[in-house]
């Protein structure tokens, strides 16, 4: 499963998801820390990721 973690999710949670074999990215890793909710949702939709 593919995950996109919003700023309210700990980076440690993303690491845990990766350790389970999931594809997971955190907005901070992508340099998108200050992105509003609507663009975050659109990005997740475009990349078929679960928020």
Tens of pLDDT, residue by residue over 17-29, are: 999 999 999 999 9
Look at residue 34 and give its three-state secondary structure.
coil
Whether 32 has a pLDDT exceeding 90, the answer reads yes
Give the separation between CA 6 and CA 17, rounded to whole angstroms: 14
- Beta carbons of 50 and 13 less than 8 angstroms apart: no
Report the pLDDT value the prediction gives residue 6, as an integer from 0 to 100.
Answer: 93
């Amino acid at each position: 499963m593919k995950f996109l973690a919003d700023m309210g999710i700990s980076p440690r949670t993303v690491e845990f998801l990766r350790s389970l074999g999931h594809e997971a990215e955190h907005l901070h890793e992508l340099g998108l820390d200050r992105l509003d909710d609507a663009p975050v949702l659109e990005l997740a939709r475009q990349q078929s990721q679960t928020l």
